[in-house]
Amino acid sequence: MSRSILFPAEWYPQSGIQLTWPHQGTDWAYMLDEVTACYINLAREITKRERLLIVTPEPERVRQLLQGVVDTDSVVFASCPTNDTWARDHGGITLFRDGAPCICDFKFNGWGLKFAANHDNLITSRLYRQKLFNARYENRLNFVVEGGALESDGAGTLLTTSECMLSPNRNGEWSQTRIEEYLKETLGLQRVLWLDHGYLAGDDTDSHIDTLARFAPDDTIVYVQCTNPTDEHYEALHLMEEQLRTFTTIQGTPYRLLPLPMADAVYDENGERLPATYANFLIVNKAVLYPTYRQPANDRAAAEVLQTAFPGREIVGIDCSPLIRQHGSLHCVTMQYPENVLQ
């Protein structure tokens, strides 16, 4: 008997969001106060709408930070050693198998062996042993993939990038055909749309899809558009846009494409360009939290596009200038769990 598998879209009703909290043992040590303020803002907005799971080796310290600032009755603290804070990529992927929730624990190897991940690769299994999930645990540690590489429309289509998914330091011995078959079988997909173009300078993920293009309801794709011919991204993002225009829904109709503005260039203290992107938004219950970069005109324009894509939701900006200093943004530091999954 065939089993029904659903890989829900991010706008599926949620029970909570995971944040893996920064601490002195992470790469945030040199700017811990600044990034902590960003996390507190995130925690405040999340707990207004749903539960928050905070993963940290220092639960009491974080509890004290949030006291009187965030509704801590809506926060679950999980004590766990961590290397870093990118919950999107080390967090479990929730599926429904015959209607029952299942947490898939894929291998996280530091974005293709770039960074240490010995603790982060074990977070999902440790959370499961702490009985924090009302879901079956499924060990998928034979396959390397990060949540930021997987974009589901909840109706059988996955959007991903060939640059990331075919990276030799992830599943290098696997062909594209074999990877696609594995994803279809494991995630219950009808098809995979491979995006072959597009990148952001300073991105350590090998072009995660959540930095470039995202699904929205009603057969919509929201994507980063570059209109400045002198920008280093212009050609690659133009080719990405052209490829998106060739994609059709399962029914064979073109997607509604909504372009997001390209953020103005942001550089670190060494003059390296950072991957500021408005595609790195998080869908929560009744709202969309999106990154802002202290660029009022671009920040406003991005909010307008997201309001068009998600007309029934509040669009809430969160200053993510601290987050991109470590080459990620808002979606990268969060992981959602569908309703009835987070205890």
In the chain (343 residues long), the average pLDDT of successive 10-residue segments reads 83 98 98 98 98 98 97 96 98 97 98 96 98 97 97 98 97 97 98 98 97 98 98 98 98 98 96 98 98 98 98 98 98 98 94
List alpha helices for the chain, DSSP H. 32-47, 59-66, 87-90, 110-113, 123-129, 162-165, 168-171, 176-187, 234-246, 296-309
Contact yes or no for 229/267 (Cβ under 8 A) = no
- Cβ partners under 8 Å of residue 296, min gap 6: none
* pLDDT reported for residue 319: 98
* pLDDT reported for residue 1: 34
CA angle centred on 131, ends 148 and 153, rounded to 5°: 30
Phi-psi region of 188 (alpha: psi -120 to 50; beta: other; left: phi over 0): left
* pLDDT reported for residue 194: 98
* pLDDT reported for residue 210: 98
Q: What is the dihedral of CA 285, 104, 324, 216, to 10 degrees?
A: -40
* pLDDT reported for residue 245: 98
Structural domains present in the chain: 5-338 (3.75.10.10)
Side chain identity, residue 245: R
